[in-house]
Structure 1
């Protein structure tokens, strides 16, 4: 086998390892950091891949001489960087959150920089076959995405990192053999260092860094509470911990956490039945039980619980005499731990069924009708996708989700949603009112289907599929006052507002209103909730499937995204400076000026190709997300199929031997036409009637076409015969892609995901213009 053929296998294996490393790193960050900080750290770190490729291109002569040192050190760099990250919260916790994030970024960027250098070296020394390497790269990435599904569900996350480092160490030794650069002293030295670091790394714990969103960190740092982890499980969804807490009065409790957040106390049905005092305490402190007390026998035959947590919703429905209870939970490890440690609630009752599925998808997929749909604080605050801003629970609170829930209810069915705060109640109410507005129902009329209660900590919104009667509301309103569920946000329709506005003996003005003033005034048709949202200091606008960021209450671009924009701007300025100097191309012949001019055009096309490709990819994953039973696992499978299609498309370029720019233009024109037809007509039609297999099949043609343009550009660049041109294009394409993945979130936050598709198609149109312009310039210079 010739060296270049060996490199096809090597690049396949290295890329697969890199994708596994990136996905595993995302799961690690999901536990250690808040989701928005995890997004920031990983986005900047992956920039290191493109920057490393450009650094190699800029200093290729140096790296070519030192490559045996660099390659063999990458596994050691990975282990040391990860070890420092795990030790970071302990070593520098006194420095504060900002410095912790800074060091996280540094430690995670270094491995990607090194991998980027190595990628560029392999592509550059095989420049004539770079298009085949690119195909191997894509196929390797697809395989890495698929393998991640299985290993993250079955292997410890630290063992995965150690296995990857060991595998890469062996691969790099093979590279040194191929290049005749094998040095026993160097290999043995790094083998000892890497093995020693791996042993230390394997004995480290995975801590939670500073994060206000991590309930587990706060509770375990409470000196008055003793805590111990009963069992932990990693999977593709994240880390699930079952923790026992012991209190000063001698009592104890068990709670389950997902990625250190979303703490939920275990509620045992058998224990509640056997201990009346505990039954009274648990039920009395759960306002979600309130609406069940008023239902007639025919109004509580079936219920669906989305995200059952430790079992409080199940307990409320069970003791509320609901005949049959279904609970949908997306995390399999969560279900397994609950069935093991809380069997009376999760497995031993004949009228309780636990379903492993994403709740919104389950509602859409099955046509069963429910008398009740419960959601109780379903917020994990950790990512469930590759972009780290797409929380699973976001899709539970959109206008389209409300329509799905209402369609799944019986005629007198009810939604019972327990929230955290005023803001969440307001935003969900805004979303519900927009859903009703679509059907021509005014805010005032729609609020006759709603009442809101609160015990001061957990506001609950109850929505009936049809209007409540005055008699129903009067009884519930009176009982809510008796049960002290009038603390905080509080509203009932048909009941007259009571106000107190008086001066106390201390000359203080005292004002009080029975109902929330804003909601009452909207119900009284004084103004619409849309007007409230427009004038609010926080983001209370309704959320849609196209922009499902329910928990983003900040108006405009979030602060952490602003930081990312500054970094993008800095890299852009750096690239502009490099471009003015023709990127430092080397190894050119006597026609160097003409070649530099052509390469400058290629470089811009390369950035735009990477940019447009990732925008299309982001939109594809978003639009298919709601059709996935298990979003995290299915997105990895979708990524595998998408990259597989790209890889096959790249392989097709071996039959094209000339007129590369003309073919790029033709293929991109096909991408624009087919993608527009696909996303605006075919997929919206199939989502309502076809299976997921048909949806995936419908994206195969665009996926294949998307894999063709860049390898054709590599073939065109190889003809320039520069000793570092291919490496530059790789880096520029990578940076364009990572920039697009970050910008897609900003665009979606501001304008919805459809804006990313429109921008992608416009970017592809600009590439057609550039390729045609460059092609004409080449013809003129040749003549």
Structure 2
């Protein structure tokens, strides 16, 4: 028998860099798609494109005579080189494809072409990773560790790359990492020709990325996004990217002078000219969201999501005592106070104003200070975060737990005020806000919440079809509204003017009145056409009010400008069906094509094992990600803490199985899988309690808690794949590429399934579904091991 083929240290470096580059490519696609198309289309694009990894594994499985072990090291270098080159070529091609968000032939063609083009680099990466994990069975533990470690550091690489350049240039950096990986593979394979090709590519990409980064910093890049939501984008005054947003500033021709700050495709805030006087800003006195200043003069104000500073200016104009502005996006603060500080009046230097760069909920939780007004105006998170195109962990400001925290940080007569778009005949969002207020007040022991809630609306005279009819504002008082409060409310209604929809004295709408009363809510919620139950940290999907069971009731989709939130649930259902179909195709088609060549007897327990751990790993990852992003309070921490910790600890877990031999495999696997199940039970029960206890702690403390919660889970989950691959290699090495492909396909399927489960039943149910998957995986491993022992007994 010949000497087994092994990978040298250069091969490990190559695999590390290719998986690092692959994760960078995936995350950067997420960011770019979020900036060019509606966020749920971005989710579909990434989910479908990721199947390219599985296609790569299937290619290896279907061509065993080409991908022989003796040539595997050369193929690793070739596939890595093709990955790096294809990232550049496919990305530039994708930039030229207009995204047309409709169901016309041209729209479907543009969407399908986009999916196909962006999936090609994943195919080459899939070939590379599959070869590494299946052609060197003796090193599978350490190679899988390098795979996961590379992905972990890919999370960090994206964050720091986007701190110095834009997402378009970062794509070339990702390609550069891929070609450096190819160079290391070429060293390992002793291929001089491939080494030269990779080196030339590296030099070109490094030079281009360096020059383009310098141009980006001077706002003169060679590459720009051309097509945004199907139209050619105008040239902005200023543009900035980070790991969770794309910001552009445009000039607006209006009086008073204003600049428009756009965030991705669906959010905007205004930068108002301020010279220390308010003569040109008198209209702010007539805006409904500023009603709070009439009710609570001379107040300490906390503004959540300060954006361009409009709410700050309003508070100053009303002569409030102080303003604390909390903004999660540091680049918005830089734009407002530095880049365009001369235009906005350098509000950060105003003696009454203090800016804080933090996530508001986490920041407020850790404060001892009380506020007279806590204001939240039109805060949305409709963009894809860096952690995933559609994790759907909606803004954590709109949950019972968050509102309870905000109300607890009000002075005895303090007001919590929130503004949302209002639709005269379909105010579903405002209904849900009211139920959220009622639930939060009841959590604080208030038996009659109707005395603490008022709602007003200011209707627009004219507006395009499907745009809001007006603006709605809900006011939640920690103490019951006094007669003086209600008199001021009614006087201001005539001055501004606006309509009072709900107050302790009356209601224009019977639904508002019933919700505020807190009576028979279970019946109302059950019978209402859309979901207006209060959102919680376990189901933080405030804007998604279409129940999964109602996806086929088209009449329930119509919610005006936010109808796309309803259609997103429909799209999610269609996508789930699509990825299930693609997963089944990835399983069945290779079997049909190779049934006569590859013996399949005894392979079903392996299929079940790898499918189960693929589902289980991703369900755990996404459920913990959704929980901990709320806890940690910043989208970037989803990359730098959550995903990094989970992937790195999984890599360490894989490495710790390197010395497990076939003779002791059953015992070692039984112990490790049992410990995994125990860890899932312990942390599944403890995680909600632990993060609740440390919610108000300092950021570094919360990150440390997150690491402690994640690390043991990742450690044991990372052991499952190499243990299963070692067992499968002893059964039939020819099957291992197919098994790796199954693992990848079910992981992608689980990324969609996790969202669907959380939306329908909650994040906790997603986690316990993952536990069930690992129970099945454990039983499948026992079954597979017995199947191998049976012939020899």
Normalised by the size of structure 1, how large is the TM-score?
0.86
Distance in 2 (alpha carbons) for counterparts of 1:188 and 1:51: 24
Deviation at 1:522, TM superposition (A): 4.5
Structure 1 residue 187, shift from structure 2 partner: 4.0
Summarize deviations over 1:187-226 as a string: whole Å, max 9, x none. Answer: 4999599979979997331135327xxxxx7xx98xxxxx
Matches within 5 A, 1:545-560: 545-556=537-548, 558-560=569-571
| 3-state secondary structure, aligned to 2:457 | strand
1:638-684 deviation per Cα after TM superposition (whole angstroms, max 9, x unaligned): 21122111111111102321332443232222122222212312551
Q: CA deviation at 1:182?
A: 5.1
What is the rounded CA distance, in whole Å, between the counterparts of 1:116 and 1:266 in structure 2?
46
The residue aligned with 2:237 is 230
CA distance in 2 between counterparts of 1:448 and 1:678 reads 41
Tell me, in whole angstroms, the C-alpha distance in 2 between the residues paired with 1:333 and 1:419: 24
Name the counterpart of 1:327.
325
Q: Which residue of 2 aligns with 1:20?
A: 24
CA drift at 1:155: 2.0
1:481 correspondence with 2:500: no
Report the counterpart of residue 675 of structure 1 in structure 2: 680
- Deviation digits for residues 275-320 of structure 1, max 9, x if unmatched? x2x2222332x212222123254xx1x2211101211110121122
- Of 573, 578, 600, the match for 1:567: 578
CA distance in 2: counterparts of 1:45 and 1:351, whole angstroms = 50
Q: Does residue 78 of the first structure (1) align with residue 81 of the second (2)?
A: no
Q: Which residue of 272, 280, 283 maps to 1:281?
A: 283
- Relative to 1, partners in 2 of residues 1:474 and 1:390: Cα closer, same or farther, differing over 3 Å? farther
CA deviation vs aligned residue, 1:338-363 (integer Å, no higher than 9, x gap):
11213525312021111110111112
The more displaced of 347-356 and 98-107 is 98-107
Mean Cα deviation higher: 433-442 or 103-112:
433-442
Change in 2 beyond 3 A, CA 1:673/1:409 = same
The 5 Å alignment of 1:230-629 reads 230-246=237-253, 252-270=257-275, 272-273=277-278, 276=279, 278-284=280-286, 286-297=287-298, 300=299, 302-340=300-338, 341-342=340-341, 343-344=344-345, 346-390=347-391, 394-421=395-422, 422-438=427-443, 441=446, 445-456=448-459, 457-486=470-499, 490-495=501-506, 515-523=508-516, 528-556=520-548, 558-578=569-589, 593=599, 596-629=600-633
How many residues matched?
731
Please say which of residues 632-641 and 698-707 is displaced more in the overlay.
Answer: 632-641
Q: Which residue of 2 aligns with 1:36?
A: 40
Q: Indicate the larger mover: 423-432 or 662-671.
A: 662-671
Secondary structure at 1:419 match in 2: strand
* Equivalent residues of 1:647, 1:707 under 8 A apart: yes
**Contact 2:612 / 2:777 at 8 angstroms: preserved in 1?**
yes
Partner residue, 2:143: 133
Corresponding residue of 1:9: 13
Deviates more, 1:624-633 or 1:373-382: 624-633
| Aligned residues of 1:145 and 1:637 also touching (Cα < 8 A) | no
Q: Deviations over 1:2-21 (max 9, x none)?
A: 74332112111111111122
**Equivalents in 2 of 1:620, 1:530: separation in Å?**
29
Aligned residue in 2 for 1:98: 108
Pairwise CA distance, 1:238: 1.7
Partner of 2:463: none
Structure 1 pair 637–237 and aligned structure 2 pair: CA distance change class (3 A): same
User: Once the two structures are superposed, what CA deviation does each residue of 1:246-297 show, in whole Å capped at 9, x if it has no partner?
Assistant: 35xx975201111133211112442643xx2x2222332x212222123254
- Root-mean-square deviation (Å): 3.2
1:45 aligns with 2:49: yes
CA contact (8 A) 1:427 1:542 kept: yes
What SS class does the counterpart of residue 601 from structure 2 fall into? helix
Mapped partners of 1:271, 1:101: distance in 2: 49
Structure 1's 2 and 364: CA in aligned 2 closer, same or farther, altered over 3 A? same
Q: Aligned partners of 1:259, 1:20: CA distance in 2, in Å?
A: 19
- The structural deviation recorded for 1:598 is 3.6
CA distance in 1, matches of 2:199, 2:635: 44
Corresponding residue number in structure 2 for 1:512: none
* CA shift for structure 1 position 748: 0.3
SS in 1 for 2:657: helix
Q: Give SS of 2:771's match.
A: helix
**Alpha-carbon contact 1:16-1:142 (below 8 Å) kept:** yes
> Which structure 1 segments of 5+ residues have no match?
212-216, 222-226, 498-514
Runs of 4+ in structure 1 off by over 6 angstroms are: 90-94, 192-202
Rg (Cα) greater in structure: 1
Asked if the contact 1:20–1:147 (Cα under 8 Å) also holds between the matched residues in 2, the reply is yes
Once residues 101 and 579 of structure 2 are traced to their aligned partners in structure 1, the CA distance between those partners, rounded to angstroms, is 28
Confirm or deny: 8 A CA contact 2:392 2:755 kept in the other structure. no
Q: What CA distance in whole angstroms lies between the structure 2 residues aligned with 1:743 and 1:209?
A: 28
Displacement after TM superposition at 1:382 (Å): 0.4
| Cα separation, 2, equivalents of 1:437 and 1:91 | 46
Corresponding residue of 1:150: 160
**3-state DSSP of counterpart to 1:659:** helix
Are residues 1:653 and 2:664 paired? no
CA apart distance, 1:417 = 0.6
Q: How many angstroms apart in 1 are the aligned matches of 2:484 and 2:382? A: 40
Residue 210 of structure 1 is matched in structure 2 by 229
Change (3 A) 1:100 1:324: same
Distance 1:624 1:173, change over 3 A: closer
Greater CA deviation, 141-150 or 174-183? 174-183
Q: Does the CA-based 8 Å contact 2:24-2:158 persist in structure 1? A: yes
What CA deviation, in whole Å up to 9, does each residue of 1:13-60 have, x standing for no partner?
111111122122211112112111111111111122122212221223
Q: 2: distance between equivalents of 1:7 and 1:522? A: 63
- Which residue does the alignment assign to 2:462? none
Q: C-alpha displacement at 1:185, in angstroms?
A: 13
**Distance in 1 of aligned mates of 2:591 and 2:348:** 67
Q: Which runs of 5+ in 2 are unaligned?
A: 213-220, 460-469, 552-568
Mark the CA change 1:279 to 1:38 in structure 2 (over 3 Å): closer, same or farther: same
